[in-house]
Amino acid sequence: MRVILTKRHPLPHWLQIMIPVAAIIVTLILAAIPILFAGGDLKLSYITLFKGALGTRYNILETCVKACPLILTGLAVAFAFRSKFWNIGAEGQLMAGAITAAAIGIYTPAEVPAVVLLPVILFLGFLAGGAWAFLPAFLKMRMKIDDVVTTLILNYVMLHFMGFLLFGPMQQPGSSWPRSAAIVDNAHLPILLVRSRFHLGILIALTMVFIIWFINEKTVLGYQTKAVGVNPTASFFGGINNTKVIFLTALISGGLAGLAGVSEVCAIHFHLLMDVSPGYGYSGIPIAMLGRLHPVGTALSAFFFSVIIVGAQSMSRMTGVPVYIAELIQGMALIVMLIALLMTEYRVKVVRD
Amino acid sequence: MLEEIFTITFMTGLFSATIRLAAPIIFATMGEILVERSGVLNLGIEGIMLMGAVTGFLTTLQTGSLWAGMLAASIIGLVFGLFMAFLAVYLGLSQHVAGLGITLLSSGLAMYVYRLVVGAPTVPPIITPFTKIAILGLSQIPLLGEVFFNQYALVYISWAVVLLMWVFLYKTKWGLAVRTVGENPFAADTVGINVNLTRTICLAVGGVLMGVGGAFLTLAHNNMFLIDIVGGRGWVAIAMVIFGRWDPVGGTLGALMFGFLDAFQLRMQGMGADIPFHLFLMIPYLATVIALVIGSSSKAGAPAGLLKPYRREEKGG
């Protein structure tokens, strides 16, 4: 058996935008298989999924709250993948940001006003994530060490470092749980809408969407990251300092993931916890791919993933389908999207030899 | 504390655990070496190991047979290896993203299936794991006997796999074909080797080894399934492939190093509460990064055809 791929004419722009939508629809149809295996009623499952995520004002706002870290990690991955810096380390970079935010938030005197404290936390959280991403970028550019492997393994280094802090120096006094003391009130990201957890971090995430769009489309750096991603040899001979571009990419990418950690600590948990991230960093990969590495697309796909994650909890309560359906759907969405992209670029024909 | 460390019982225990903890990494590393030698990077490894771990565990839980569990884990590894072949070889998708897709999908699936079969009991179900087999005569050798010849059957099998992989890659016609496909698929095609079929078979066999490596964790090293049971060992295996310069013996040395640090870390944990054991938990992973730095300084490189899908129509690519 052979598969023959022939290039298609590029799709018109408006149809390109429909590819992720088609991928989402196919994924949701495929999700019926595991739901049926779990003995869930299909109609009820899908209804509770969407009602749980979008049924009431509160649910919609909760979905936005969940989307916040996903937008940031999705952007982190999308921005890195654009220049083919394979940053799979958003999870660890998120934790670096979370640890930084918690450390500042706990040890700062309560009198420091929020207008001073919050920018400091955001800035240093960004920097911490960026620094943790810089290490693999440095190893990649200076020592030619594969970035996929280092970013992945550094996630575990950061995870255990956080474990060390939470069972050791940062553990809440008198507690035996891996949990830090609470951050001061002025380190809380303000809630913007009454009777909800809709917080400032969401606006920050959306601002980042705009900033990344601006960098990509309107700045020299955006042009350079794309050039390095498309053809590093050509960009090098075209006078671009590839190393510098990858270093900047890593700082920004890791910084975005760091911000996700900041917002989770300062708007959701108010403590540092071992499960500060239930895999948000890894979810960034399918989110970025589904968003076709475009910042607006990434934000939209983050919202879709958030619907799935929030909705899966209601669905699980109502139908008994395991809540891990959300993870399963994320994996399926990524693979479906990859195949969808291939099918729009190539005509796929299977022939028997 | 030092007196405690430098006793013979401590040392034999440490080295025996080193050998044991290296085994799952050895299986996975051998699987990944085979796959990468044929020109495919399989980042699905972490997820395939997790699928192997959960499938092996659940099968054993249901049937009571450990070897049935191993068989099921091998089959699921084979299936996911073939799935990766479909995506990366036949469709020619980006090996990075396709592999990560497989890992995400199979991680989700592993947790889903576990919850479906077991539910959410307060006490997780356990199985009776493999017991160690002392090899008659050899296990009586002082110190070395306990370390090397009183191990699980799977540990002995892992050594056999290393030997077989070495012989296969360097001493057989088929091994030469695999290496040619990995180095220069166009040349391989010219001399009549079916590039895509070769890669598919390597992915399938590699998947079996990854599945077995995962099942080792639930059926021998442990007696239950935990969501983070693989804990990055798949990524460590990929690092060890690079550290060992795509050579079975080099990869095994890397796996043994990880096994040693893992065993050491476990012992430190057991020695007292005043030691921050999470710092020790970090050591094997930090050492893996350092191993990459050391491994990358050598001249010998990755197979030249790695990461490139082979399409006959695009000659010279």
Q: What is the pLDDT of residues A191-211, one digit of tens each?
A: 999 899 999 999 999 999 999
DSSP per-residue codes, B227-276: TTSSTTHHHHHHHHHHHTTT-HHHHHHHHHHHHHHHHHHHHHHHH-TTS-
Residue B135: pLDDT band by 50, 70, 90 thresholds? confident
Q: At residue B245, does pLDDT exceed 80?
A: yes
Cβ pair A144:B242 closer than 8 A = no
Instruction: With CA atoms as reference, report the closest residue to B308 among B178, B193, B181.
Output: B181
Instruction: With CA atoms as reference, report the closest residue to B53 among B282, B247, B281, B233.
Output: B233
Distance between CA atoms of residues A94 and A76, nearest Å? 10
Secondary structure, 3-state, A51-77: HHHHCCHHHHHHHHHHHHHHHHHHHHH
The structural architecture, per CATH, of the domain B10-119+149-296 is: Orthogonal Bundle (1.10)
Q: What is the per-residue pLDDT for B317?
A: 36
Residue A21: pLDDT band by 50, 70, 90 thresholds? very high
Residues of B in contact with A331 (CB under 8 A): 101-109
Buried b (16+ CB within 10 A) or exposed e, B278-289: bbbbbbbbbbbb
* Closest CA–CA distance from residue A75 to any residue of chain B (Å): 16
Residue B298: pLDDT band by 50, 70, 90 thresholds? low
Residues of B in contact with A144 (CB under 8 A): 296
> Average model confidence (pLDDT) for chain A?
94
Please identify which residue in the block is written with the tokens 């399926």.
Answer: A332
Average of per-residue pLDDT across B56-75: 97
CATH of domain A2-351: 1.10.3470
Helices (H), chain A: 13-30, 32-37, 42-54, 57-82, 90-107, 114-143, 147-167, 200-218, 220-230, 232-237, 242-263, 280-290, 295-319, 325-345
Domain ranges of chain A: 2-351
* Closest CA–CA distance from residue A289 to any residue of chain B (Å): 9
| Token pair belonging to B14 | 């440490």
Look up the pTM and report it.
0.93
Residue B316: pLDDT band by 50, 70, 90 thresholds? very low
Q: Which has the minimum average pLDDT: A269-283, B39-53, B151-165, B293-307?
A: B293-307
Please identify which residue in the block is written with the tokens 């690092």.
Answer: B239
Cβ pair B93:A324 closer than 8 A = no
Residue B269: pLDDT band by 50, 70, 90 thresholds? confident
Classify burial at B202, counting beta carbons within 10 Å of its beta carbon; exposed 0-12, middle 13-18, buried 19 or more.
buried
- Residue pair B33/B249 in contact (Cβ under 8 Å)? The answer is no
Cβ pair A322:B238 closer than 8 A = no
Residues of B in contact with A153 (CB under 8 A): 232, 235-236, 239, 285, 288-289
Distance between CA atoms of residues B303 and B36, nearest Å? 7
Q: In this complex, which of B100, B116, B242 lies closest to A149 when CB atoms are compared? A: B242
Q: What is the per-residue pLDDT for B313?
A: 61
Q: What is the pLDDT of residues B8-59, one digit of tens each?
A: 888 888 899 999 999 999 999 999 999 999 999 999 999 999 999 999 999 9
Residues of B in contact with A88 (CB under 8 A): 100
* Closest CA–CA distance from residue B307 to any residue of chain A (Å): 12
| Token pair belonging to A105 | 């938030």
Q: What is the pLDDT of residues B185-227, one digit of tens each?
A: 999 999 999 999 999 999 999 999 999 999 999 999 999 999 8
